Amino acid sequence: MSLIPHLINGELVTDNGRTADVFNPSTGQPIHKVPLASRETIQQAIDAAKAAFPAWRNTPPAKRAQVMFRFKQLLEQNEARISQLISEEHGKTLEDAAGELKRGIENVEFACAAPEILKGEYSRNVGPNIDAWSDFQPLGVVAGITPFNFPAMVPLWMYPLAIVCGNCFILKPSERDPSSTLLIAQLLLEAGLPKGVMSVVHGDKSAVDALIEAPEVKALSFVGSTPIAEYIYAEGTKRGKRVQALGGAKNHAVLMPDADLDNAVSALMGAAYGSCGERCMAISVAVCVGDQVADALVDKLVPQIKALKIGAGTSCGLDMGPLVTGQARDKVSGYVDDGVAAGAKLVVDGRGLSVSGHEEGFFLGGCLFDHVTPEMRIYKEEIFGPVLCVVRVNSLEEAMQLINDHEYGNGTCIFTRDGEAARLFCDEIEVGMVGVNVPLPVPVAYHSFGGWKRSLFGDLHAYGPDGVRFYTRRKAITQRWPQRASHEASQFAFPSL
């Protein structure tokens, strides 16, 4: 098996320490090994970034943007190759992988606007012969720690913007599917990024702790589970770092009695079962207002779930591939077992699925529970698999209270034709990203992504305008040039106009 290298200071390097297997989830077999970086390797990347920072921060934003324009072109030219790598190591379908990459490219496009987004503010004559302005300045060396479920898109949420803001970036991607992430970073170098400005280091908790503890790293971006997000936020902030840590989710879709049910079912199928449910914005709970809505929804969902086309992600025309690891499959199956034991009605059971020719793959079919109640574990916890739970309530107010009481507040949506209900929902729901007849309300790149409550630790959301604020510090400058002929006496009162 080949060893996937680190990318440090523009060079592909390996160390002689620990390694981990990278699996093809469709076959269940290891296909590569990935090095788990030592602290010495992490420090090499930090030293390279420190050395590159002075020149990069002084590079004009327009020239930084030119690198991103070339990078965008290279990503588009290599779409098929990148999608293949994602599918081979993650398991998601080729179409889903291509869609992920396209959403990542949107963030590169936003970064291309560096001269505009980094413009400061200027005020002339704020006082006698006094001008004032603000400037956005880079932090220095920053780092990102990204999850397995979006090996292309989530890193592209982070480093294009961090880099055009003048920082140097160290990326620690998931060790489960690192090949596409590494290739994309190599394309950035091909686009003209100077050596040391961007490094990729593979690893596990040891690498994460090394980045947290390094005083040279000024900021950390993280996307993953809530326990790890909370850990990184606590450990990073107590060391004076700026931290943006996005955690888990339990996303609800509310179906009103007036909803266009056929379109809602189509939307739920993609939102619940796309990418095998391994999305932090996946809809995992359908909250039906009234038994009539719930009964009709279940009746329409069952045949479509049973008809899901499931197979090796690299095959064409599929709806779902496997879960990323055997451990992930077994964990999701355990949740299904727990739901049955708790008394929920398992309407569609996807356990025990075997795909011909890929019997050792990490497959699990779509699952559907009805009559789920809030005290059940399958309702409270993030399952991160192809499991949809139907909860029945009597009113919109009851549905909203259910959502607002949950510990997570990442994404939610409502299906309705009633503008008043939609407006109330958008105003009163305690969730960071809200959709109206949109099941996956992931903001476009020129807005920002982030949840509320225990779905986000930190004050600023990812990418977009919040991303600019996260990766820069504002400096306010007040300047005065007294007239030559004037002489002013000392002032001991606090200065004012």
Which residues are known catalytic residues?
280
Q: Return the closest-CA partner of residue 188 out of 216, 162, 208.
A: 162
Inter-residue contact 241 to 214 (CB < 8 Å): no
Q: Return the closest-CA partner of residue 452 out of 284, 247, 272.
A: 247
Roughly what angle, to the nearest 10 degrees, separates helices 179-190 and 153-164?
A: 30
Q: At 400, phi and psi to the nearest 5?
A: -65, -40
CA angle 28, 29, 32 (to 5 degrees): 130
Q: In this structure, how many other beta carbons lie within 10 angstroms of the beta carbon of residue 8?
A: 24
Which one-letter DSSP state was computed for residue 286? E
CA angle 435, 469, 56 (to 5 degrees): 130
- Give the torsion through C-alpha atoms of 324, 306, 280, 29, to 10 deg: 0
Q: Which residues are within 8 A (CB) of 147 and not within 5 positions of it... i.e. 6 or more apart?
A: 154, 174, 223, 224
| Amino acid letter, 187 | L
Which position has the token pair 């699925």? 353
Q: Return the closest-CA partner of residue 155 out of 168, 140, 166, 143.
A: 143
Which residues lie across from 413 on neighbouring strands?
Answer: 253, 435
Q: For the chain, what is the largest distance between any 2 Cα atoms, rounded to a whole number of angstroms?
A: 91
Which position has the token pair 């700026």? 242
Chain mean position to CA 326: 23
